């Protein structure tokens, strides 16, 4: 019987790690990047090929299932990943999972940047919009006084 | 007279209470996640679907060979997501930033809170550099009544310390490698909260201040990503990090790259 993989780093199971992504996406407005999922699969569990794809699929499926949606943050992402949400069809969780996986595999399953496919919940996005708007207003006020 | 041993015991008890609360919270999240997996099964492309033409066509089934297929559910379960968010008090749990100004707590904007964290950490680093040459040196005291005054005072302390350092011939202090800022001497300064993702390090105020001050030595502020709710910096060893006010976790340091240690990695530091 094949035993369940354990993290080389801390002995955690894949379920532990996936639960951590869900927790982080809900707990923090900037969400979780696909870069972390790929890095964990590759470095913590030593996965490659189909095993790595299966691991990434589980992570992305869990995030899509709680309503987190992917977006690129261009400054810390791969070339061509422009700022903004990444849409796949009608953006059902299933389409998101398949779409993200297909794009990542087509790119050669690279390690990713912090800004690549950040999974952000609707609540997180609403908060970020507020803060970004507040930053814009503060900058405008500062320009007016300067 | 302040009873320091009593005060210390109260702080220890408060830390223990918070740690216990976090553990219970993490346990609850893991339980809910297990329930989620049990009810909805982690998405698998090989999982059987109800055939097209059926009212539930395309939905996941348990593949019952009797033909009495049971639709498990749509993969997205709003009730579950909302329950989980309620449970851990995630994005809805707003932490209004407050800082202590002139002996009282004042509400500030997230932007002001970040500017104050950064200005104070930079001042602290400059003062520490001076004290390596002149252990008794202290910057001039200042009284402030607003958060903007507090930020200006921190910036003035930094300028004063840098001027003093030039007088002493100290001039330049080489920054520590980022790995050494995060784990001086290889020692872990924080912990992973139960249930939290890997890479998320939680530290106390003393360690947070120490890490941020060290990271900012020689760091250059750079443009932040449009969506990032904080300020970004580039270190001389190439490390990129940001400082922001997290909606539910307060002061936070984000790293653009993972930092690996023997049994943990760090890409985010929260203050507890």
Interface ipTM: 0.92
In a domain, B70, yes or no: yes
CA distance B200 to B180: 17
Cα dist. A9→A12, A23, A49, B104, B226 in Å? Answer: 8, 20, 20, 44, 33
- Beta-strand ranges (E) seen in chain B are 98-101, 104-107, 199-203, 220-222, 230-234, 240-246, 250-260, 265-271
pLDDT of residue B174: 84
Cα dihedral sign, B8-B11-B16-B19: negative
Q: Are residues B181 and B264 in the same domain?
A: yes
Q: Which among B175, B173, B174, B168 is positioned nearest to B133, based on CA atoms?
A: B168
- Could you list the residue range(s) of the whole structural domain that residue B21 is in? 14-88
Beta-carbon separation of A22 and B257 below 8 A: no
Q: Between vectors from CA B89 to CA B86 and to CA B95, what angle results, nearest 5°?
A: 145
Q: Are B195 and B26 in contact (CB under 8 A)?
A: yes
Below-70 pLDDT ranges, chain B:
1-4, 6, 10-11, 13-94, 171-172
Shared-domain flag, residues B113 and B64: no
- Separation between Cα atoms, residue B96 and residue B117, nearest integer Å: 15
**Three state DSSP letters for B161-218:** HHHHHHHCCCCCCCCCCHHHHHCHHHCCCCECCCCCCCEEEEECHHHHHHHHHHHHCC
Angle at B42 between CA B37 and CA B45, to 5 degrees: 160
CB A101 within 8 A of CB A53: yes
Tell me, yes or no, whether B262 and B184 share the same domain. yes
The Cα of A118 is separated from the nearest Cα of chain B by a number of Å equal to 11
For chain A (length 146 residues), average pLDDT per consecutive 10? 82 92 92 96 96 96 94 92 94 95 97 96 90 80 70
Closest in B42, B200, B240 to A62, CB measured:
B42
Shortest CB distance from A65 goes to which of B40, B111, B254? B40
Contact A26 B88 (CB under 8 A): yes
What are the residue boundaries of the structural domains of chain A, listed by start?
14-145
Q: What pLDDT score does B42 carry?
A: 45
Q: What is the pLDDT of residue B145?
A: 86
Q: Would residue B7 count as lying in a domain?
A: no
Residue ending a domain, among B149, B173, B197, is B173
Q: Are residues B130 and B167 in the same domain?
A: yes
- Specify the number of domains making up chain B: 3
Same domain, B269 and B181: yes
């Amino acid at each position: 019987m094949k035993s369940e993989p354990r993290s080389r780093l801390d002995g955690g199971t894949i379920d532990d790690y996936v639960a951590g992504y869900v927790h982080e996406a809900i707990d923090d407005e900037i969400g979780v990047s696909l870069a972390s999922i790929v890095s964990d699969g590759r470095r913590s569990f030593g996965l490659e090929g189909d095993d790595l794809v299966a691991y990434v699929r589980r992570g992305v499926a869990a995030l899509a299932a709680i309503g987190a949606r992917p977006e690129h943050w261009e400054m810390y992402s791969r070339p061509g990943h422009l700022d903004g949400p990444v849409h796949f069809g009608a953006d059902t969780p299933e389409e998101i999972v398949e779409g993200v996986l297909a794009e990542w595999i087509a790119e050669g399953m690279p390690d990713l940047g912090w800004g690549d496919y950040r999974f952000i919940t609707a609540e997180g996005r609403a908060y970020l919009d507020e803060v970004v708007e507040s930053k814009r207003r503060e900058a405008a006020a500062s320009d007016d006084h300067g | 007279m302040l009873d320091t041993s009593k005060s210390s015991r109260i702080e220890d008890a408060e830390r223990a209470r918070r740690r216990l609360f976090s553990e219970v919270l993490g346990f609850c999240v893991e339980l809910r996640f297990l329930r989620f997996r049990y009810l909805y099964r982690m998405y698998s492309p090989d999982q059987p679907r109800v055939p097209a033409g059926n009212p539930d066509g395309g939905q996941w089934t348990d593949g019952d060979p009797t033909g009495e297929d049971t639709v498990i559910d749509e993969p997205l379960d709003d009730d579950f997501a909302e329950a989980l968010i309620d449970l851990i008090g995630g994005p809805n749990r707003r932490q209004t930033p407050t800082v202590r100004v002139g002996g009282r707590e004042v509400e500030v904007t997230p932007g002001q809170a970040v500017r104050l964290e950064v200005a104070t950490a930079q001042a602290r680093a400059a003062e520490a550099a001076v004290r390596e040459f002149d252990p008794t040196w202290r910057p001039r005291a200042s009284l402030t009544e607003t958060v903007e005054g507090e930020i200006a005072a921190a910036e003035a302390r930094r300028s004063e310390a840098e001027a003093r350092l030039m007088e002493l011939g100290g001039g330049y202090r080489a920054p520590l490698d980022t790995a050494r800022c995060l784990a001086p001497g290889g020692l872990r300064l924080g912990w992973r909260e139960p249930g939290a993702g890997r890479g998320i390090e939680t530290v106390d105020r003393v360690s947070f201040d120490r890490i941020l001050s060290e990271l900012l030595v020689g760091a250059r502020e750079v443009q932040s990503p449009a969506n990032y709710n904080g300020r970004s910096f580039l270190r001389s060893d190439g490390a990129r990090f940001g400082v922001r006010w997290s909606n539910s976790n307060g002061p936070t340091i984000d790293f653009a790259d993972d930092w690996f240690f023997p049994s943990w990695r760090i890409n985010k530091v929260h203050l507890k």
